[in-house]
Amino acid sequence: MAFSNTYDVTNTGSAVSNREDLTDVLTILAPEETPVLSSAQKQRATATNTEWTVDSLSAPRTTGIVEGDDVIAHTDQFAGRARMGNFTQKFRRDYKVSDLQEAVESVGPARIAQAEAKAIRELKRDIEATLCSDNVKQQAAATVGGVEKPYLMTGLGGFINNSAADDVVPAGFKTPASSIYTTTESATNAFSETAFNDIISSIFEVNGVSNGLVLVADVGLRRVISDFARLSTVSTETSIRNVNYDGGVAAIKLSVELYQSDHGIVSIVNANPDCMPNFGGTTANSSGYLVNPEYYGIHELIPMGSTRQLNNGGGERGFVDCALTLGVYHPQAHGLIQDVK
């Protein structure tokens, strides 16, 4: 039989006088980066339905004009204009701390200021997940039985969609199918560097802009993209990684932050894996958005802020909230990679 009972603190014995060793460290065990929200340009919204117009240019002509020809027909240069829009969605997170918890010493600590700060961090993740979703906008309405529907906004996946509804993306402005990669169950359709460059080339064919693209890549896609810059295609040993090593440097960095494509440099950032959808695919954490930050932005109707509510005797409480929407001004300037194997 053991001489001591250090494990038993509920009965009499030596264990009841043992001190607790609780380190004054609090770690948040969840990813909280918001690259889509952080990189978007911010604008002020003034209504619950934010709208913008889109237009296109006609195909170039090379036929020439006959000498002496008069102009007898004229073109309406604005006939192809269309209007796009998105509803403003409201986000909210509440918090509270009891009066006793506010008074005691704790790791963290765990007081009203820390509760408020944590709610803000959760709110930003809510926004990031909605921006990265394939949600489609919904207008607020009262349904049968008095249950109300809130405003919902269209996410990036709803805009970057070759088959998007016309009230989301008008005909003629939908993202080309060649700018969207979706794998199948066939192993022969595994995502490759050629497929990646095809998407970049497709985007260039539409807007003619080199550089400026940012790939927000989930975990699985990021690992595939990193290998593009490290695989040998000269020999048959395509699985051998080629890495330049400087003998004076102690570490070899394998992370790829920039990708040199045929149509410019693509910046690569890590997506928040908790905020990326899997689009109903078979492989989790394997998708990404290829976006041009110049052609999307956040429109804020109510800026993010905190409101304290009445303390009825139990302790401090309140909530943080905001109302905003996503504007994708040029759906053809972006690409989508889904369910990479």
Residues constituting the chain: 341
* C-beta neighbour count of 293 within 10 angstroms: 16
Q: Cis (ω within 30 of 0) for the bond into 277?
A: no
What confidence category does residue 3 fall into, taking pLDDT thresholds of 50, 70 and 90? low
Q: What is the 3-state secondary structure (H, E, C) of 113-143?
A: HHHHHHHHHHHHHHHHHHHCCCCCCECCEEC
Q: At what angle do helices 219-228 and 193-207 cross, to 10 degrees?
A: 90
- pLDDT(176) > 90: yes
Q: Which of 111, 151, 130, 127 is nearest to 318 (CA)?
A: 111
Predicted confidence at residue 24, as pLDDT, reads 59
- Mean of the pLDDT values across residues 251-276? 80
Provide the 3-class DSSP secondary structure of residue 80. Answer: coil
Predicted confidence at residue 281, as pLDDT, reads 61
The HSE-up count of residue 210 (CA atoms within 13 Å, CB side) is 7
Q: Which of 282, 273, 253, 267 is nearest to 341 (CA)?
A: 282
- pLDDT(17) > 80: no
| Predicted TM-score of the model (pTM) | 0.84
Q: What is the mean pLDDT of the chain?
A: 84
Predicted confidence at residue 238, as pLDDT, reads 46
Q: Any idea which residue has 């979703």 for tokens?
A: 133
Predicted confidence at residue 246, as pLDDT, reads 53
- Mean of the pLDDT values across residues 57-79? 90
Q: Any idea which residue has 């932050």 for tokens?
A: 257
- pLDDT(113) > 70: yes
Q: What tokens does 81 get?
A: 């204009």
Predicted confidence at residue 108, as pLDDT, reads 74
pLDDT per position as a tens digit, 192-249 = 888 999 999 999 998 887 778 999 999 889 888 887 765 444 444 444 445 454 555 4
Residue 232 phi/psi, 5-degree rounding, is -85, 125
Predicted confidence at residue 256, as pLDDT, reads 55
- Mean of the pLDDT values across residues 13-28? 65
Residue 122 phi/psi, 5-degree rounding, is -70, -35
Predicted confidence at residue 233, as pLDDT, reads 45
What confidence category does residue 185 fall into, taking pLDDT thresholds of 50, 70 and 90? very low
The highest-confidence range among 30-39, 127-136, 277-286, by mean pLDDT, is 127-136
What CA–CA distance (Å, rounded) separates 324 from 142? 21
What CA–CA distance (Å, rounded) separates 48 from 61? 42
Q: Which of 91, 89, 92 is nearest to 318 (CA)?
A: 92
Predicted confidence at residue 252, as pLDDT, reads 45
> Which has the higher per-residue pLDDT, 188 or 79?
79
pLDDT per position as a tens digit, 278-321 = 776 656 778 999 999 999 999 999 999 999 999 999 999 999 99
The highest-confidence range among 27-31, 139-143, 226-230, 250-254, by mean pLDDT, is 139-143
Cβ contact 277:284 at 8 Å = no
In order of 200, 231, 254, 266, 285, the CA distances from 290 in angstroms are: 8, 22, 21, 9, 15
What CA–CA distance (Å, rounded) separates 42 from 34? 14
Predicted confidence at residue 244, as pLDDT, reads 52
Percent of the chain predicted with pLDDT > 70: 83
Q: What is the DSSP letter of 151?
A: P
Residues 6+ apart with CB under 8 A from 52: 83, 84, 85, 327, 329
Strand partners, 84: 52
The HSE-up count of residue 174 (CA atoms within 13 Å, CB side) is 16
